[in-house]
Structure 1
Amino acid sequence: MSRPDSATDVFEAHRPRLARLACRMLGSLAEAEDVVQEAWLRWSRVDPAEIREPAAWLTRTTTRLALDLLKSARARRETYVGSWLPEPLITGPEADAETFADDLTLSLMTAMERLSPLERAAFLLHDVFEVGFDEVAATLERDPASVRQLASRARRHVQEARPRYAVAPEEGERIARAFFDASRSGDLTALGALLAEGATLRADGGGKVIAFHNPIHGARKLLRLFAGLNRKYGAEAYEMIRPMWIDGLPGYVSLERGRVLQTTALAIEDGRIVDIFITRNPDKLARVAALLDLSGREAAN
């Protein structure tokens, strides 16, 4: 049936929040957009008089759609080539601030990959989107006690990845710039001063471009890695396009040998880098390339 403009206005008022929820559930803007579009189609077919609380109805519908998609996505990720990272969401004056109106950094998004779909949904709905447990229980079709347990288990896992304190913007940007300069030039002394002893690097190429298939743990291994890359390619192979905040973490967008676009995000604690997240899969960087007008500069392989 045709919906009155007021119904469209109601949906559009909730769209940013629904997009955030779907994106945090799925780790993909493209999949989130599909979910929100399907939520709109379902909304367009209901009688407004039957919906007493549009916000609750839309949240419930979006969550259930995202859960269905997440279950199939989990199966696909079992055969994913190398590490899987969420699609990088870059912040800045060009970005939609509504998309980043929570405190889920890339570190926490990665930690949530260890959660079951129901744990992830319970945690996001209650802890991030402030939905009451009774409504979460109705959404997940579980009793409130079970939902509380789901959220509690999820919270314990996620808290391990939550930074102890936020990095000041100036400090984060300084460290990101210093990390790029040191890794590009092969200055191992400067690089070693930036890395925590237990630092870990994860790279997502998705089988589309060359990337490290397994996480690399420890500052010593990382120093050997960057020394080898510098010997092989030289400093001229790397170009920083722009410093950026990526899913709440300081980092930058760069090009390797003028062809391969990548984002690098850094988790920092006590002034040292504890996690390095590199995304090179071109399927996940199309939005970054378009936003920065780089579509003609990077290649898929």
Structure 2
Amino acid sequence: MDEKKFLAEKFEANRPHLRAVAYRMLGSTSEVDDAVQETWLRLSRSDTSAVENLGGWLTTVVARVCLDMLRSRKSRREEPMGPHVPEPVADDQHGRDEEMADSVGAALLVVLETLAPAERLAFVLHDMFAVPFEEIAPIVGRTPAAARQLASRARRRVQGTPPPDPDFGRQKSIVEAFIKASREGDFEGLLGMLDPDVVFRADSAAQRLGSFAEIRGAAAVADVFKGRAQAAKPALVDGAIALAVILGGQLRIVVRLTISGDRISAVDAVADAERIGQFDVSLLT
């Protein structure tokens, strides 16, 4: 049998499974079609002679495609009025889409839309399709233990457990006020938002940009940020409040914040491009 014909037949046999994975990842029938088509294109361009489990290989590929689509959706800020709303599924040419939608449930899809892309992928692949964390980890660029944590965090959200930081509005206000005070050089304002024992730490990449490795105390940290943050924007990083520094249209630095009560108690600056690429970052408007 011609190799291309053989691959086409194997792909068609896996198509319902790939559509099921993509629908749970994307919640959009039009995007499902795009993701499955892109998976076929990648298969047709790849040497799969050494692939022992083609179904598993295809699952990994469609998951990567969907992850890229979710991240692109967030970066384009397509949902200014709120989160993406899953599309209802009509009975189309595939004949099984309505059954597929019923098996997921609209309520679950709405909850899945609230997850960060990597959380959604880890939860969908592991909890819905029993993919081991060892196989999920390279897709999201994390260790298996970190991938397990992503799925656990998503599972709590799906099961209705409140997130660790329920007072998101208060934290967002603190971050916005911190950015404003920093830009305006308001030393006293910065001082009032920092815990007296606040600790600032920078990774080696941030240090190469001129930062100290560690700074302790509110006055010293306030002095560092005074007149800065011109390119900083409030953001969610892996679901936690943070600052994203955008330069030349690119995310250059992630500043992760720990907020205790009404004050910032820890600041961690990450400029290493590889580490930043592993974060799920969503800018907040």
| TM-score (normalised: structure 2) | 0.50
- Determine the structure 2 residue equivalent to 1:85: 85
Post-superposition shift, 1:95? 4.4
Specify the code of the residue in structure 1 equivalent to 2:64: R
* TM-score when normalising by structure 1: 0.48
Aligned to 2:116: 116
Q: Which runs of 5+ in 1 are unaligned?
A: 162-301
1:153 alignment partner in structure 2: 153
How far 1:119 moved relative to its partner? 0.3
Q: Output the amino acid matched with 1:104.
A: V
What corresponds to 2:248 in structure 1?
Answer: none
CA-CA distance at 1:112 after TM superposition: 1.2
Whole-angstrom CA distance in 1 between matches of 2:143 and 2:68: 19
Distance 1:155 1:91 in 2: 29
Aligned-partner SS, 2:19: helix
Within 1, Cα distance between the matches of 2:95 and 2:108? 20
Distance apart, 1:98 and its partner CA: 8.2
Residue 70 of structure 1, CA deviation = 0.6
CA RMSD of aligned residues (A): 2.6
Structure 2: gaps spanning 5 or more residues: 162-285
Q: Which residue of the partner structure matches residue 73 of structure 1?
A: 73
| 1:160 aligned counterpart, secondary structure | coil
Partner residue in 2 for 1:9: 9
Deviation at 1:154, TM superposition (A): 0.2
Partner of 2:96: 96
Residue 106 of structure 1 aligns with which residue? 106
Tell me what 1:42 maps to: 42
Alignment check: 8 A CA contact 2:91 2:98 kept: no
1:30 — aligned with what? 30
Equivalent pairs counted in the alignment come to: 159
Equivalent AA in structure 1 for residue 108 of structure 2: L
**Which amino acid letter does the alignment assign opposite residue 68 of structure 1?**
D
Percent identity, aligned pairs only?
A: 45
- Aligned-partner Cα distance in 1 for 2:7–2:101: 25
Q: CA deviation at 1:103?
A: 4.0
Give the match for residue 125 of structure 2.
125
Task: Quote the residue 2:171 is aligned against.
Answer: none
Q: Distance between the aligned counterparts of 2:98 and 2:55, measured in 1? A: 17
Distance verdict in 2 for CA 1:55–1:101, change over 3 Å? farther
Check the 8 A contact 1:14/1:55 in 2, yes or no: yes
1:137 aligns with 2:137: yes
| C-alpha spacing 1:22/1:39, structure 2 compared with 1 (3 Å) | same
Displacement after TM superposition at 1:139 (Å)? 2.7
Mapped partners of 1:53, 1:102: distance in 2: 29
Higher relative contact order (CA 8 A, sep 6+): 1
| C-alpha distance in structure 2 between counterparts of 1:19 and 1:99, whole Å | 12
What secondary structure does 2:104 align onto? coil
How far apart are the structure 2 equivalents of 1:100 and 1:12? Answer: 17
Distance 1:60 1:145 in 2: 18
Query: What are the within-5 Å matches in structure 2 for residues 1-301 of structure 1?
Result: 3-77=3-77, 79-81=79-81, 84-90=84-90, 95-96=95-96, 100=100, 103-160=103-160
Deviations 1:113-135 (A, max 9, x none): 22110000000000011111211
- Alpha-carbon distance in 2 for matches of 1:142, 1:82: 28
Q: Give yes or no for contact 1:19–1:99 (8 Å, CA) kept in 2.
A: no
Report the CA distance between 1:83 and its aligned residue: 6.2
> In structure 2, what is the Cα distance between the partners aligned to 1:90 and 1:160?
28
